[in-house]
Amino acid sequence: MGHVEAGRPDHSVSVVIPALNEERTVGDVVRGVKSLDIEIEVIVVDDGSTDRTAQVAKEAGARVIRHARNMGVYRALKTGFEAATGEVIITMGADGQHDPADLPRVLAPILAGEADLVLGVRRELPHFSERFIRVLVGLALRCSDASTGLVAIRRELLSRMPLRGDCPCGVLVLEAHRLGARVREVPIRVKPRLHGRRRVRTRHIRQVFYVLLELVLTAIWGLTRRAGPSCSL
């Protein structure tokens, strides 16, 4: 992550949306974000889709960046991070499960100067691996949903984070924690996925591996003491 390039337009907030074959939902997601009463740059990273995802997102008003082949959600996020111009960057899904109406709630602690990283916390974690990642991250700091896809983060913090591996679940939280970031949580609504299935399989095994790696690095840095900072609602 570098700083904003000279000559690029400034936006206060950028929303980065990784997408893979989400032509049926990505348009509504983009329009929902752009309908908010906030100046927002919307970036859709088409991660090697074989359908009309890129075209639909562009027609809805997003700036679209395309990967020639599928590289995974974390690579797509990194591409979006590097392209974003906002001082605050939000990540969200393209499948319609995240409600754009929750974005102001996730933004609020950062805009109020109370947080550097804000996690949109789901009421339930549907997969065992997500619950396991929550337990692992909990060894370093109390956190209700380290696997959430709806996250807001200050650009200044993001520019200092190494963003290791190829999995966002838990890694963002632990890297930010080691940098002394103020991490906060806000509740969000998650709607049922209308089309297709969420891809899990071996990806969750990799997620656990990278979280374990980050925990080792966190322990070495000395941040796993009992009285460490925690996420707060």
> Residue 2: inside a domain, yes or no?
no
Q: What is the pTM of this model?
A: 0.86
Model confidence over 20-54: pLDDT tens digits? 999 999 999 999 999 999 999 999 999 999 999 99
Model confidence over 158-208: pLDDT tens digits? 999 988 777 677 889 999 999 999 999 999 999 987 765 555 445 667 777
> Residue 206: inside a domain, yes or no?
yes
DSSP 8-state symbol, 35: T
> Residue 6: inside a domain, yes or no?
no
Which tokens is 125 given? 């974690």
> Residue 4: inside a domain, yes or no?
no
Residue 109's nearest CA partner among 101, 99, 100, 119 is 119
| Helix pair 201-221, 128-137: axis angle to 10 deg | 0
CA 67/CA 118 separation, integer angstroms: 28
Question: How many domains does one find in the chain?
Answer: 1
Residue 211: pLDDT band with limits 50, 70, 90: confident
Alpha helices per DSSP H over the chain: 26-34, 53-59, 73-83, 103-111, 128-137, 155-158, 171-178, 201-221
- How does the average pLDDT of the chain come out, rounded? 86
Residue 111: pLDDT band with limits 50, 70, 90: very high
Helix (H, G, I), strand (E, B) or coil at 28: helix
> Residue 228: inside a domain, yes or no?
no
Model confidence over 60-96: pLDDT tens digits? 999 999 999 999 999 999 999 999 999 999 999 999 9
CA 95/CA 198 separation, integer angstroms: 9
> Residue 132: inside a domain, yes or no?
yes
Range of the domain at 177: 11-221
The per-residue pLDDT for 2 is 37
Which tokens is 159 given? 């520019």
The per-residue pLDDT for 24 is 97
> Residue 1: inside a domain, yes or no?
no
What is the CATH classification number for the domain harbouring 192?
A: 3.90.550.10
Which tokens is 30 given? 């983009």
Residue 6: pLDDT band with limits 50, 70, 90: very low
CA 98/CA 228 separation, integer angstroms: 30
CA 132/CA 223 separation, integer angstroms: 20
* Residue 231, pLDDT above cutoff 70: no
> Residue 233: inside a domain, yes or no?
no
